Chain A
Amino acid sequence: MSALSDPHEERRRTTRPVWEEKPGMLLSLGKGATLTLVVLAVLFPMWSIVVTSLASRETINRVGGMVVVPREFDISAYVTMLSGGQVTRALGVSLFVTLVGTCLSLVLTVLTAYGLSRPSSLGHRPLLFFFLLTFLVYPGLVPSYLVVSGLGFKDSLWALIVPSAINVFNLVVVRSFFMSIPGELFDSARIDGASEWRVLTSIVLPLSKAVVAVVGLFYAVGYWNAYFNSVLFIDDNDKWPIQRVLQSYILAGQSPHVAGVAVNIPGITTYPPTLAIKMAVVVVTVLPALVIYPFVQRNFTKGVIVGAVKG
């Protein structure tokens, strides 16, 4: 299957075929209700959390907690959260880990995928086996912990990046895309004297923007969402990523004072409600995924992932 074309796109129906009977009233109603319910189940919690983060103390006190109907647009919770302190610092940590990690992972993944994309090259089969074997044979928690901490990564942000820098599933996705590019394109470039490096950067990569974008999103989401590796390796809470702060602040119920979460009181009267600050932390933790997602989502259907799964 070629990853460059999308069979789904071509066959997409916009009208009902003539032989298909019109669905009954009950069936249509059932389908519509189910899909509406599924969509609401995703959107409603997000809505309520955003509205609560923007609510004033009076509103939160009146409804007794989470707010559903927006009454005001009070950004004091965000101001407090971002005015220094642990949440601000954790956002910086997570941004650093995500940006540096994604760049490193993408470079490694693209290089390796290209290095493994020529079945005739020296040592191709054993090398490919070396990478694919990781799916069947994997280390347990204890030896992994001992190796990473033994290499001196404890309390270093690199512990959140380097051990997870290459994901073999993403590698397989990129590799099968590279292999679907017609070989004549490379051959003509090589005859013209282009080095492999040149072929990769000038021919392969420009054709692979969609797959690189999707895999980049996967890596970025992985780094941003990682929680447990910080439990294992980061004791110093100045270096905690945002997920860890969210956990200690909301799920473990540490008060912001104990957890050191930003409580810079600009004036007693504008002190925002705790619940609003909590929900504001949730919102900024969701935000990066929400912002990047629409740009990349189009590419999911372009056969990128599906091609790899089938190939």
Chain B
Amino acid sequence: MNDPHVSSAATLKPGKRAIGARLRRDWPFLAMTAPAALLLLVFHYLPTLGNVIAFQDYNPFEGRNAFEAFMKSEWIGIENFQVLFADGAFWDAVINTLSITAFQLVFFFPLPILLAILLHGLVSARLRALIQGIVYLPHFFSWVLVVTFFVQMLGGAGLLAQEFHRHGLTPWNIMSNPHTFIMLVTAEAVWKDVGWASIIFLAALSTIDPTLYEAAAADGAGRWRRLWHVTLPGLRPVIVLLLILRIGDALNVGFEQYLLQRDAVGRQAAEVLDTFVYYDAIVPQQWGVGAAAGLFKAIVGLLLIVSANKAAHRLGEQGVYSKT
């Protein structure tokens, strides 16, 4: 700020002087923003740029630190991508990830909407607040806890298996069955987040003008027709918004949930893209290939969200961001 060049303000152009004056006025705002901006620069944007090691034969032992190693590592073009795309395990992970996303779009996505409609229909505000308080709670549990809860209830030594044993039946272990794994992870996700996800729909429901319902009722629309012609259209923008976000996030199904259960179920069912990167790049230190997989995921994710948003615009919806 004590730049000697700025002192001769008279010789500067008016625009620059304005900047000097604005800087004198606004520096507290800049100073307040600086620490967080620096953190993002180091821990978000620097690694984002670091993705270029996807085009390198990155070897951390080339230099004394990561940066020196980066400078000295050999550039090998798209070889890492060739290795990655030739790897069957990578495509298995991609297919698993997309299947789980598709499955959850059908069996998870509508549930918070239904729960919100049920809660909104409760006449007693106190009962509604109580139920909300209870169903939001699991959102604040870690994945380690959620998986533990499921193991203790439904696992091989859990409560359900106990009951089976007591009645002389053979229990089956839901927690380690690869064929039903997709249902298990969806059930876990629903248990953890169905309440929390209903908040946004509840908020949207509360903004629907009550006179619309009244008018519909006066015109003879029954309960279900009001649901179809008033409630659902009122929720439409929020549903479309969340659908776009979910599709843009198609390659992200959550990470810890799968990491925690991969050993019990086996990789053929539980390997998703993120666990693939962890087990096939970070653990064996295949940095270049891992970065290539990360870059693939980021670019596909970006393309997905942009095209989903475009589709929403075309359908006349607002979408996540507008075209400004």
State the majority secondary structure of interface residues on A.
helix
Given the interface pairs A39-B135, A123-B30, the reply to whether A282 lies near B145 with Cβ below 8 Å is: yes
Contacts of B255 in A (CB 8 A): 228
Whole-angstrom CA separation of A60 from B115 in the bound complex: 36
B50 at the interface (CB under 8 A from A): yes
Cβ contact of A14, chosen from B60, B123, B305, cutoff 8 A: B123
Whole-angstrom CA separation of A12 from B125 in the bound complex: 7
Segment among B4-12, B37-45, B91-99, B178-186 that sits at the interface with chain A: B37-45
Q: Is the CB of A146 within 8 A of B60?
A: yes
Most buried by B among A43, A134, A306: A306
Given the interface pairs A42-B137, A306-B199, the reply to whether A143 lies near B291 with Cβ below 8 Å is: yes
Q: Is the CB of B166 within 8 A of A115?
A: no
| Nearest residue, chain A, Cβ from B129 | A301
Report the minimal beta-carbon distance from B283 to chain A, rounded to whole angstroms.
10
Contacts of A196 in B (CB 8 A): 28-29, 32
| Nearest residue, chain B, Cβ from A132 | B321
Contacts of A227 in B (CB 8 A): 142-144, 256, 260
Given the interface pairs A11-B210, A17-B210, A134-B40, the reply to whether A45 lies near B48 with Cβ below 8 Å is: no
Contacts of A65 in B (CB 8 A): 157-159, 161-162
Q: Is the CB of B29 within 8 A of A39?
A: no
B134 at the interface (CB under 8 A from A): yes
Q: Is the CB of B48 within 8 A of A137?
A: yes
Q: Is the CB of B26 within 8 A of A122?
A: yes
Given the interface pairs A139-B44, A139-B48, the reply to whether A48 lies near B125 with Cβ below 8 Å is: no
Contacts of A226 in B (CB 8 A): 142
Contacts of B278 in A (CB 8 A): 141
Contacts of B119 in A (CB 8 A): 35
Q: Is the CB of B43 within 8 A of A148?
A: yes
A105-131 interface with B by 8 A CB criterion: 108-109, 111-112, 114-116, 118, 121-124, 127, 130-131
B228 at the interface (CB under 8 A from A): no
Q: Is the CB of A31 within 8 A of B159?
A: no
Whole-angstrom CA separation of A225 from B140 in the bound complex: 8
Contacts of B148 in A (CB 8 A): 246, 250-251, 282
Given the interface pairs A142-B287, A246-B144, A246-B145, the reply to whether A112 lies near B50 with Cβ below 8 Å is: no
Contacts of B32 in A (CB 8 A): 111-112, 114-115, 196, 200
Q: Is the CB of A111 within 8 A of B144?
A: no
Interface string of B46-79 (1 = CB under 8 A from A): 1111110100000010000111000000000000
B139-195 interface with A by 8 A CB criterion: 140-145, 147-149, 151-153, 157-159, 161-162, 165-166, 191, 194-195
| Nearest residue, chain A, Cβ from B216 | A19
B138 at the interface (CB under 8 A from A): yes
Whole-angstrom CA separation of A108 from B44 in the bound complex: 16
Contacts of A279 in B (CB 8 A): 152
Interface string of B263-279 (1 = CB under 8 A from A): 11000000000100110
Contacts of A20 in B (CB 8 A): 213, 217
A209 at the interface (CB under 8 A from B): no
Contacts of A63 in B (CB 8 A): 162
Cβ contact of B33, chosen from A46, A112, A140, A165, cutoff 8 A: A112
Report the minimal beta-carbon distance from A252 to chain B, rounded to whole angstroms.
7
A162 at the interface (CB under 8 A from B): yes
Interface string of A23-63 (1 = CB under 8 A from B): 10001000100110011011101101100000000000001
Q: Is the CB of A23 within 8 A of B223?
A: yes
Given the interface pairs A228-B259, A282-B148, the reply to whether A122 lies near B153 with Cβ below 8 Å is: no
Given the interface pairs A68-B159, A252-B263, the reply to whether A35 lies near B131 with Cβ below 8 Å is: yes
Q: Is the CB of B206 within 8 A of A11?
A: yes
B124 at the interface (CB under 8 A from A): yes
A246-292 interface with B by 8 A CB criterion: 246-247, 250-252, 279, 282, 285-286, 289-290
B83 at the interface (CB under 8 A from A): no
B207 at the interface (CB under 8 A from A): yes
A195 at the interface (CB under 8 A from B): yes
A145 at the interface (CB under 8 A from B): yes
| Nearest residue, chain A, Cβ from B297 | A140
Q: Is the CB of A140 within 8 A of B223?
A: no
Contacts of A16 in B (CB 8 A): 123
| Nearest residue, chain A, Cβ from B67 | A150
Cβ contact of B217, chosen from A19, A162, A294, cutoff 8 A: A19
A232 at the interface (CB under 8 A from B): yes
Cβ contact of B142, chosen from A11, A124, A225, cutoff 8 A: A225
A73 at the interface (CB under 8 A from B): no
B232 at the interface (CB under 8 A from A): no
Q: Is the CB of B159 within 8 A of A66?
A: yes
Q: Is the CB of B42 within 8 A of A250?
A: no
Report the minimal beta-carbon distance from A241 to chain B, rounded to whole angstroms.
10
**Given contacts A122-B23, A150-B67, could you give 8 more A-B pairs where the C-beta distance is less than 8 Å?**
A8-B206, A35-B118, A63-B162, A116-B29, A118-B26, A136-B305, A286-B141, A286-B145
What are 17 A-B pairs at a CB distance below 8 A?
Answer: A27-B223, A34-B118, A65-B159, A108-B35, A138-B298, A139-B47, A140-B293, A140-B294, A141-B274, A143-B50, A147-B46, A151-B42, A171-B36, A231-B259, A246-B148, A289-B137, A306-B199
Question: Which residues of B are interface residues toward A (Cβ below 8 A)?
Answer: 19, 22-23, 25-26, 28-33, 35-37, 39-40, 42-51, 53, 60, 65-67, 115, 118-119, 121-125, 129, 131-138, 140-145, 147-149, 151-153, 157-159, 161-162, 165-166, 191, 194-195, 199-200, 203, 206-207, 210, 213-214, 217-218, 222-223, 255-256, 259-260, 263-264, 274, 277-278, 281-282, 287, 290-291, 293-295, 297-298, 302, 305
The 8 closest A-B pairs by CB, nearest first: A140-B294, A150-B66, A143-B50, A139-B47, A225-B142, A115-B32, A115-B33, A143-B47
